[in-house]
Amino acid sequence: MARIERRTRLNAPVSEVFAYIADFRTLKDYNPSIIQINGPADGTPEKADRYELTLSMFGRKIRPVLTITDMKENELIMTRLESFIPAIEKRLFEQAGDETDFFFTIEFSSGWPLIGPLVDTILIRLFAGRQADTEVRLLEKRFNLEAER
């Protein structure tokens, strides 16, 4: 199984960071691969809520489904991405004074016999690792620059 882990400190309280990330309508603000999101429109998302995404990946549009598998307010958001290579994403939130320590993990496995580990390694280098870096960088930009204003 391939695993990507990122960690950062965001200059905002956990409640603010969690509310922003839990509002899946904001997902395309910090995930540039997302073209469109369709799902529950109002209220705080709940476990088992599903979102149909349109993503641009390697110049092609794909339409995976993102399902919330676990959610604990101000602590955890776990999702499963159903696509040609399924992925589990975990977002952990910890209060650090007036700031938030944010942990982002992606796990996936192509599951293909013989070549699966090679495919997973290539996907980490060409897409998933860069995607995780970009998401964290854009969240840092939003919360850390906003705090400086």
**pLDDT value of position 141:** 95
User: What is the per-residue pLDDT across 129-149, written as a single tens digit (0 to 9) for each?
Assistant: 888 999 999 999 999 875 555
Instruction: Categorize the per-residue pLDDT at 128 as very low, low, confident or very high, splitting at 50, 70 and 90.
Output: confident
Distance between CA atoms of residues 93 and 108, nearest Å: 21
User: What is the per-residue pLDDT across 51-73, written as a single tens digit (0 to 9) for each?
Assistant: 999 988 778 899 999 999 999 99
Q: Which two tokens stand for residue 38?
A: 């369709």
Instruction: Give the global pTM.
Output: 0.88
Distance between CA atoms of residues 71 and 62, nearest Å: 26
Q: Which long-range contacts (CB under 8 A, 24 or more apart) does 36-39 make?
A: 39/66
- Walk me through the domains of the chain, giving residue ranges and CATH numbers: 2-148 (3.30.530.20)
**pLDDT value of position 43:** 64
User: What is the per-residue pLDDT across 29-53, written as a single tens digit (0 to 9) for each?
Assistant: 999 889 999 988 666 789 999 999 9
